[in-house]
């Protein structure tokens, strides 16, 4: 029950911030939304897009799933993710799509690890995670092949980052999204949050690698500032 009380107290703080004034942000949002950005992020509880970016309600249309994956456009594509992308791009006409991946992703770890089995050797009855992660299986295969000489941690990081690019490639299989990109009305971005260092990386098509968008803080400097406070 203590967790529930924490959430209720959190809502009261939210209420005070956004509903205490005579005219509030929600007055302008009451009749509709017009976010500029679609963010496709991971379900991981440590990686909340709104918290990480300091966004206000109405700033972002957010789609979250395990490992921030985008299925390719197909009749049997995941309706939840694909329909949300379609709504954001075709109805809300967002200006950009950000695919936000992160370090220590459990979905990628499941993808790179052998399938789990129940005691006695029986396969799991409903292995939804592995079926979902199959979207990124080509990425995992390439990482295993090209980085076989690297450590497990290095392979996981490579797969986390490569899966972001794989999702961006899959976005371009949706014809209505590709048309908006070609017309210069939609930009695609690949971001990677290193939750170990606190850095934010962005993919550079020119350099074909992830580069710091926001560098990690110097720990000694932060610790010193805390002592002075």
Q: What is the pLDDT of residue 2?
A: 75
- In whole angstroms, give the CA distance from residue 60 to residue 44: 18
Q: What is residue 215's three-state secondary structure?
A: coil
| Domains recognised in the chain with CATH numbers | 33-114+125-228 (3.40.1050.10)
What is the pLDDT, as a whole number, of residue 220?
64
Query: What percent of the chain shows pLDDT beyond 90?
Result: 79
Does the pLDDT value for residue 60 go beyond 90?
Answer: yes
Distance of CA 82 to the CA centre of its chain: 15
For the stretch 76-115, pLDDT in tens is 766 889 999 999 999 999 999 999 999 999 999 999 986 6
> Which is nearest to 40 in space by CA: 63, 17, 73?
63
pLDDT digits (tens, 9 = 90+) for 125-158: 667 888 899 999 999 999 999 999 999 999 999 9
**Residue 223: pLDDT band by 50, 70, 90 thresholds?**
low
Residue 217 DSSP one-character state: P
- Classify residue 89 by burial, with Cβ atoms within 10 Å: 0-12, 13-18, 19+: buried
What pLDDT is recorded for position 1? 62
Helix, strand, or coil (residue 163): helix
Rounded Cα–Cα distance for residues 74 and 215 (Å): 38
Q: pTM of this prediction?
A: 0.89
What is the spatial distance between Cα 224 and Cα 206, in angstroms, rounded to a whole number? 38
């Amino acid at each position: 029950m203590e967790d529930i009380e924490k959430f209720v107290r959190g809502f009261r703080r939210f209420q005070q911030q956004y509903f205490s004034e005579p005219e509030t942000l929600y007055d302008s949002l009451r009749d509709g939304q017009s976010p500029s950005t679609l963010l496709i992020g991971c379900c991981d509880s440590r990686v909340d897009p709104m918290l990480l970016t300091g966004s206000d309600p109405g700033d972002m249309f957010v789609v979250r799933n395990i490992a921030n994956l985008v299925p390719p456009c197909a009749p049997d594509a995941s309706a939840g993710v694909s329909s949300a992308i379609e709504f954001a791009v075709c109805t809300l006409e967002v200006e950009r799509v950000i695919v936000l991946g992160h370090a220590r992703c459990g979905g990628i770890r499941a993808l790179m690890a052998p399938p789990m089995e129940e005691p006695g050797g029986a396969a799991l009855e409903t292995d939804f995670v592995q079926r979902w992660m199959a979207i990124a299986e080509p990425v995992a295969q390439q990482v295993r092949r090209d980085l076989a000489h690297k450590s497990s941690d290095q392979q996981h990081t490579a797969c986390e980052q490569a899966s972001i690019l794989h999702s961006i490639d899959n976005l371009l299989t949706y014809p209505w999204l590709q048309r908006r990109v070609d017309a210069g009305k939609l930009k695609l971005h690949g971001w990677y949050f290193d939750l170990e260092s606190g850095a934010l990386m962005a993919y550079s098509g020119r350099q074909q690698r992830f580069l710091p968008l926001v560098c990690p803080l110097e720990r000694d400097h932060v610790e010193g500032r805390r002592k002075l406070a």
